[in-house]
Every structure is written in structure tokens, then in C-alpha cells.
A and B are shown apart, each in its own frame.
Chain A
Amino acid sequence: MRRPFWLQVAVPIAVMGLLPLVFPGSYSLTVLILSVLHAMHAVGLCLLVGHAGQISLGHGGFYGLAAYTSAILSVRYALPVEVAMAGGVGLTVVVAALLGLPTLRLRGHALAMATLGLGIILNILFTEAVELTGGPSGFVGIPRLSFAGVVVDRDGAVYGLLVAVLGAMMALATNILNSRVGRALRTLHGSEAAAEAMGVDVAQAKRVVFVLSAGFSALAGVLYAHYLTFIAPSSFGFLFSVELIVMVVLGGMTSIPGAVAGAFLVTWLPEVLRAFENVESLLFGIILLGCIRFFPQGLAGAGASVGRWIGALLRCPRGEQDRG
């Protein structure tokens, strides 16, 4: 199934671009910015979990590693923000590659175990290396995002920048899925043995996707650190890694716009539910359960059903939609 580019990337980006007009105000903008940051992880994890069939429980750790590296380089070593950000992403990608190299040769849940361990070790590092990271109470005084001396200090501008970066990530991910690597991934998700027999380099394909997804999380991490100008170890823990997986599953595992929608839902829903004090966690749980029960294919599946329904209503033959 070829994925029409406009439907996969252009429409979601256009919708995200319009959201600040629908929900004005600095509070809504902050929720939107966090949603876009979470969506960056979700796009990478959609490739890894949904297509390569590998679970990572350490992407929260990669997020933090990049954020802390960039913070340390820009504050303690007074490097320009762009250089510090490149350093943060670079180091994280190297760490992910070193971890992926041996573990992705193994079958089964080796990657989940290894990333779980790495995530916890990284979190201990953020907490205990007080001199370097500021310890459990956090790292203060990180400079704001800036490029070539121009500081991006308005939240609206930050949001625009983040949506553009997310758009690039979605385009890259869609292109990968439409390429040879994407076909290889789908084969190995179906059956690793069959994929190997067909000449697919299974370990190589998984490694590419794993490092790429870690890179996406790292980019989200450096942007987060320089947006909020403060980071603390509690934001990068094991539970956050699990939350990221929830976003992908809720989105529908294999659909990139679905994963982005999942990230927005998981970030936004608790804020909406704040109105129902005391029972908000309960409602959150019920809504998630409801999603799994009624949309087993995730938000993407639900979206497709609605699309089909509208299509049938307009008497538009289904075949034409697919070609897009």
C-alpha cells in the first residue's frame, strides 16, 4: 500500500498550523508545543514499534541525554546554542548506535530489555551527577533557542519552528516507508525468517530505524531543553518512555499521522480533564480503554472508518481515495 504524501504529511501539518488560531493564548500554546515535542518521539517510535516490531523502553532516556548534553555544553562550556544542540543529538545517536549494534542482532525482546536498562542508568546519571546536571532539583538557566544570534523567544515562533521540524520528520519517515527499507521492514514485521530468506539484512534494517528514532527523540530533547530553559530528571524517566509507547499504540501502531494524533491526545486529554478534579485519572483511564475497545486499529483506524463512512455517503468509489 503506497502512502499518499499529502495525506500523510501535508494535511496533518496544515491542521497543526491552524491549531493556535483555534486555541489562542499562551497556555494553549504551551500545551501545543509539548504535544508537538511528544509527536516527534511518536513518529520515530511508530517506525520502530509499528514497522520494525521492536519495543524501546529507553526513549525517555535518549530525550534526557540529548537535553542534558545540550544544556551542559551551552551553560558549562558556553558553546553557542546551535553547536550545543548538534552535540546533544550527535552524542545520543552515537550512544543509540553503540547499544543497537549488539542487541539488534538478537531476536525477541532483547532491545526492550537493553533500552529499559539504559533508560534507568541514564536517569540515575542525571540525578546523581549533581556537579554536572544540577541533580534531582534540576538544571536552571539554559539559554533560549537561537540560530546565528537570532533568539527565538516568542512561543508562537517556537511552535512554528517545531511544527516545521516535525513536518520534516514525518516526510522523512513517510519516504522511508515508501522505500526499499520500508518494504524490508514490513517483511520482517511479518516474519523475520521469511525476510532473511528473501535476502533482507534484518539486523541492518532494525539498526537504521532504531538509530533514526533515537535521533528524532534527541532532536525533541534539545528543542525541549532550550524551549523550557529548565530540565529535571523526573521528565525523562521510565514512565515517560512507557507514555511514548502508549501514544504510538493509541495512534494505531503503523500510521504516522495516527502516531502524531496519539501524541496530541495523550498530551491534551489530561489538561482537558482537569475540569473534573479528583476523577480525572479515572476518566483518562476509561477513555484510553474505550479507545482500545472501540478502535482496536487506533486513531488512524478510527479516522479511516470515518473516511470510509463519509466516502460511502458521498457515493465516492473507495478505490479512487486510495490512489490519492
Chain B
Amino acid sequence: MLGWRWLVVIVMGWVGTGLAWAAEPIVFGAVVSATGPAAFLGEPQKNTFLLLEEEINAAGGLDGRPITIVVYDDESDVNKCVLAVRRLLDQDKVVAIFGPSLSGNTLAVTKVAAAARVPLISMAAAEKIVRPVDPWVFNTPQLDRHAGITILQHAKAAGHKRLALLTVSDGYGQAGRQVLQELISAQGFSLVADEVYGPKDTDMTAQLTKIVGAGADALICWGTNPGPAVVARNRMQLGLSIPLYMSHGVASPKFIELAGPAAEGILLPAGRLVAVDQVPDGHPQKAVLQAYVAAYTKRFGMPPSSFGGYAHDAVRLVAAAVRKAGVAEPAAIRDALENLQNVAGVSGIYSYSADNHNGLDASAFLMVSIQGSTWKVLP
């Protein structure tokens, strides 16, 4: 009499799941670069989507419906990214898309999402993504402009006038270079040297020697690991005393590990995620930051990175938009996103509007200095 028992089990299981999730799930899509050269961005983002999907469903879903986040890896490749977005729109019928991780890939798919009238919340920082504003395209990372403003405020207060730039010749470095060139001349500094290095270079002494020869008061280096660590070590080997500013691209423990003692005294703008315990208790981001760090560390056994934070904020903002709209339809989510005000996320406090699809300002950054192999928040 095994047959009827099995039947009971199956029916009970079916009824059970039916009761738990009486409603159809809301399907979101995500495209991340989890493999390939940009895996350092995509891996923590993929983990974050997994984490938040579990968290939101455990808390009863959105408006009583469970959520599903379909995550595709674009392997850091433009064509694969376009295909992944088409697949999300065409086969998975998603109501919003998170990502891609890379600026170039994002620029390749903004038109695709806009044509399908589905909101796209990119996790890439290039200014071209949100300026000029495409009604269907948003992004969550802090802009290079905000980091540049934070650095220049500090430089101005410290009395530096003659600045030098050392940037990496990839998308990140050149976007930063363009913004800094503009800000430096607009704020009355003089740019005395503008050097570039390749992403795979292992020695920057030539550029540093040239910068010192130009008589710079301070140096701003813009790149992601490992280049800036080489710059830091070369600076120590040459015994240079001028202050070194780095970008938020190296605001991770990996940089301190790579640069070792040469990291001491380096200044950089960073999101509050690097120094959660130094964020004052009353700050609106404090609770969000603590919850994210605790949940991520518990689930994956390592602390989250700021790149994962971009994914966290994208999901939280869209969740807030769905709650506000009361319906999980692409157009309603888009309209609600555009009207979100003062939503505290991991990377900053977001206020989107019809002509601002980034939602952050320079207050998303703190100026930190590396002291004793850890981050020290400067007043």
C-alpha cells in the first residue's frame, strides 16, 4: 500500500507550497560579469543577489509575492551581455534588470532595455550611463565626479595647488581622468603633469620621476588593483614625500594587502562600507550597512566589497519602488524609482528624480587615510 501514501505526501506538499506562495513570483533579471577580467566586480554582486533573494522571500516577499532574481554571467563580454539582456526580456519576462557590472556593457544594452520599456539599474559608474538621462536607465554606484570633488576638497584644505595625475589606460582610469581634468581647471588648481600607465604595467618609476620633476604638490592616481599598489611601492622606493591620493577603485582590503607598508598614509575617498564601525550611530546608513555586512559575512564567510554594495542598493531601490507603486509592472517601477527620496543604501543616500538617475552626491564619500593597515576616517 505504498502508492496511496505517496499520493498523500505529494498532495500535501503541493498544498503546502501553494499556501506558502499563493501568488506568482515577481521575476527580476540580473547581468553580472562573474567570470572574465571583471570577475572581481561580478562575483560579490552575484552573491549579493542570492543573499537578497533569500532575505526578501524569508521576510514574506514583496507585496505578498515571492521574488526570483534570474542571474546571467556575461563573461565580461559585450555580445554575451546583449544576449543575456535579450534573454531576460524575451524568455524570462523580467520586470526590471539589475546590472550589467561594466560601463561598456551597460552602454551596449541601455537601448535594448529602453526599447522593451523595462527599467535597467546599472551597477557601473560611467557618467555616460546617466548623462544624458534615458528614462529607463538608472545606476547605483557613486560617480567619479563625486570622488573627484571629495579629493579636491581635501587638497584645497591642505593647501595644495599644483596637482599631478597618474591614470590607468582602461575605461575606469580614462573616465576618471576626464572628470579630474575638468574639475581641476574649474576649481583653480593647476595640472602640472598628466601621466598614463597600462593596466598590466609592473613599474611606474618613470612616470613618478617625471611627476616629481614637474614640481607637483600632490599626486592623484586613478586605477583599480593591482596598478595603484605598484604606484604606492614605487613611491616608497623613490622616497617621495608628496601626498598620494587614490581613487575609490582601491577602497578594499585587497589594496592594503598588495601595497603592504607602502599603503601607509595614502588618502582616498571611500564609501562608508569600508569603515562601518566608524560611521556615527545616528547616521541613516548605519543600520543598512551593519545588516548587509553581517548577513553577507555569515552567508559567504568573507566581508562584502563595495561592488556587492552596488547590487544591494539596486535591489533595495527596486523593492522600495515596487512597494511604493503597489504593483510589479515595469512602467510603474520606473515611475516609482524616479520619485524615490532619501533611501539609505550601502553606497549612499539615494534621491532619484526625472533629471537625476544616479541619485547620489559627494556626501556618499568619506575621505579616509590608511593608517596601521586599516582605514582611518578623516574629519
Contact = CB atoms under 8 A, between A and B. Distances in A.
B121 interface: no
Interface centre among B80, B87, B91 (most CB of A within 10 A): B87
Contacts of A31: 83
A135 B126 CA distance: 12
Given A234-B104, A235-B77, A25 B91 contact: yes
Nearest to A138: B104
A74 to B, nearest CB: 16
A324 to B, nearest CB: 36
Interface in B69-83: 72-73, 76-80, 82-83
Contacts of A137: 103-104, 107, 126, 128, 171, 174-175
A26 B89 contact: yes
A137 B170 CA distance: 8
Number of contact residues on A: which range applies? Answer: 20 to 34
Interface in A11-40: 25-28, 30-31, 34
A140 B128 contact: yes
B169 A230 contact: no
Nearest to A232: B104
Contact of B107 (A25, A230, A234): A230
Contacts of B90: 25-28
A130 B72 CA distance: 30
Interface centre among A30, A137, A232 (most CB of B within 10 A): A137
Interface in B257-291: none
Given A137-B171, A137-B175, A232 B108 contact: yes
Nearest to A34: B79
A136 interface: yes
Contacts of A30: 82-83, 86
B111 interface: yes
Interface in B284-339: none
Contacts of A281: 35
Interface in A194-236: 228-232, 234-235
Given A27-B91, A127-B169, A130-B174, A138 B86 contact: no
B27 to A, nearest CB: 15
Contacts of A25: 90-91
A302 B170 CA distance: 44
A125 to B, nearest CB: 12
Nearest to A24: B90
B216 to A, nearest CB: 23
Contact of B174 (A28, A136, A231): A136
Interface string B142-175: 0000000000000000000000000001110011
A230 B108 contact: yes
Interface centre among B73, B104, B126 (most CB of A within 10 A): B104
Contacts of A277: 73
Contact of A34 (B83, B126, B128, B171): B83
B316 to A, nearest CB: 25
A31 B89 CA distance: 14
Contacts of A109: none
Interface in B162-219: 169-171, 174-175
B175 A138 contact: no
Interface in A230-277: 230-232, 234-235, 270-271, 274, 277
A228 B83 contact: no
A4 B96 CA distance: 51
A136 B72 contact: no
Contacts of A230: 78, 107-108, 111
B19 to A, nearest CB: 30
Interface in A28-84: 28, 30-31, 34
Contacts of A231: 78
B79 A235 contact: yes
Contacts of B78: 138, 228, 230-232, 234-235
A140 B86 contact: no
A274 B108 CA distance: 21
B246 to A, nearest CB: 20
A27 B107 contact: no
B294 to A, nearest CB: 27
A89 to B, nearest CB: 21
Given A34-B79, A140-B128, A234-B104, A26 B171 contact: no
Contacts of B77: 234-235
A228 B128 CA distance: 17
B108 A234 contact: no
A9 B144 CA distance: 52
A234 B175 contact: no
B83 A271 contact: yes
By Cβ-Cβ distance, the 4 closest A-B pairs, closest first, are: A136-B171, A137-B171, A27-B90, A27-B86
7 contacts: A26-B86, A27-B83, A138-B103, A138-B104, A231-B78, A232-B104, A274-B72
Interface of A: 25-28, 30-31, 34, 127-128, 130, 135-138, 140, 228-232, 234-235, 270-271, 274, 277, 281
